[in-house]
Structure 1
Amino acid sequence: MALMVRRLVQLYAGLALYGLGIALQVSSGLGNGPWDVLHEGLSRRLGLSIGAWVVIAGAVVMLAWIPLRQRPGIGTVSNALLIGVFADLFLWLLPAPEAAGARWAYLITAVLVGGFATGCYIGAGLGPGPRDGLMTGIAARGHSLRAVRTGIELTVLASGWLLGGTVGVGTVLYAVAIGPLTHVFLPALTIRPRTPEATPETAPAETGPAAQAEPSRS
């Protein structure tokens, strides 16, 4: 029970922080991440808030899970529903930066917060986000995950740019940095089920380096 509470707390903290990261990057005006270029473009062309389009796009993406036979978890549904809500909340709360230094501070903080937040919600182990699941679901059909991710994000980015979303140095910084940051944060934030302590009856017989190696983090 305590472990599940910890996982839920980490999940929702991660989703809130991810919404904060979106708000910071959009407010910087220096370029959004690929998906948020699309969300902002849709907001400018069709109305509704950026956060509302985050929710709508997440729901549409989840429909694509059906032919891929992906199964959502509580983390997937929470991701689809809440990140947009948090993004709109923080866009409302944050003061608009005017000086160039403040805009860059927003951007760099946004990317760092985004990497940490991704580690939080994925590390909780309660289901991938809708967009993450789409990529892994297509890749599971025999395609390279890197190629699938690149293809989807370039398509989303181009569509958002044509709709008027903001593309700039922040877009490039996000694309370059988010993977390495997640790689750093995810192992530290991954919650693993507790295993019973070894007893003389259950302890492995092996000794030496192989027996002392750390468990895999994959």
Structure 2
Amino acid sequence: MAEIGNVRHRPARRLTQLFAGLVLYGASMAMMIRSGLGLNPWDVFHQGLSRLTGLSFGTVTIAVGVVVLLAWIPLRQRPGIGTVSNVLVIGLVVDASLALLPSGGPLPARIALLVVGIVGNGAATGLYLGARLGPGPRDGLMTGFVARRPGRSIRVVRTAIEVGVLAAGWLLGGTVGLGTVAYALAIGPLAQLFVPMFDVAGPPRPLAGGAAGVGGAARPTAGAGPTPTAVPDEPVDAPRTAPSSSRP
């Protein structure tokens, strides 16, 4: 699988970045929850299920991630190292962070917590996607649907999934509010900023004529004539468009 080849190239940087991103993601989720001002669609769903079942937010997040991964099977999606880590690490970190963060407080403090949470979420997205070790289970669900139905727009599929889980979460008692709107407006630009910033180039790829490119760039050889066209080093494990929501 592509992520195996990726982890062999600069493994310390990739793994450190992956787990730093997942830890930051869980902590930023907890900040948005404690603000009490609204969550992103998937977390509205998680919160609603948590209130319905009495399970912790992190436990519900892990359980939903496992169920979504099972949905990958008929879609023929392959989980990466980052995918499995995503399911386990984020849920554990969000519960630990919720135990440390106080709830309530004056409105300005809650707004500040929300803003820090959203920006941290964007940075976390850049870290874990930039490591190129596999998408989050929910992103894989989206790309799997698109791959099975050629011609379907990623934006349309993503919007349908997000609206569906948001509605279900709201009906279950999840918090929809200012934070939900702020997240929807901010996460795209934040991901656009942070994903290129933290992107780790993939391993060298062979090019026509025996030359090798590093990070997708061709390496010319003396007397070989014109430089061969470089093979683009696209992130195989991440969606090819900036996510409208960064939920992994």
TM-score (norm 2): 0.80
Question: Aligned to 2:50, which of 43, 58, 79?
Answer: 43
Pairwise CA distance, 1:190: 1.1
1: CA distance, partners of 2:59 / 2:184: 23
Change in CA separation of 1:72 and 1:194 when aligned onto 2, cut-off 3 Å? closer
| Residue 124, structure 1, aligned to residue 131, structure 2 | yes
**Map of 2:222 onto structure 1:** 201
CA distance in structure 1 between the partners assigned to 2:20 and 2:105 by the alignment: 29
Extract unaligned runs of 5+ from structure 1. Answer: none
TM-aligned CA distance change 1:69 to 1:2, over 3 Å: closer
How many angstroms apart in 2 are the aligned matches of 1:73 and 1:187?
A: 20
Structure 2 gaps of 5+ residues are: 1-7, 205-212, 235-239, 241-248
Measured on the aligned residues, the alpha-carbon RMSD in Å equals 2.2
Runs of 4 or more above 4 Å deviation: 194-200, 215-218
Structure 1 residues 204 and 89: alpha-carbon distance in aligned structure 2, compared to 1, 3 A threshold = farther
Does 2:186 match 1:165? no
Q: Any idea what the Cα deviations from partners look like across 1:94-140, whole Å, max 9, x if unmatched?
A: 12240111100011111101111011111101000000100111112
- Give % identity: 55
Cα displacement (A) at 1:145: 0.6
Deviations along 1:159-195, one digit per CA (max 9) or x if unpaired, are 1111111000100111111112111111111111354
* Residues 1:182 and 2:191 aligned together: yes
Structure 1 residues 73 and 203, CA gap change in structure 2 (3 angstroms): farther
Where do residues 40-189 of structure 1 align in structure 2 (5 Å cutoff)? 40-140=47-147, 141-142=149-150, 143-189=152-198
How many residues in Structure 1 have an aligned counterpart in Structure 2? 213
More helix by share: 1
Task: Tell me the TM-score normalised to structure 1 length.
Answer: 0.90
8 Å contact kept, 2:9–2:203: no
Matched, 1:28 2:1: no
- Distance (whole Å) between structure 1 residues aligned to residue 77 and residue 135 of structure 2: 10
Distance verdict in 2 for CA 1:164–1:120, change over 3 Å:
same
Of 12, 16, 20 in structure 2, the residue corresponding to residue 5 of structure 1 is: 12
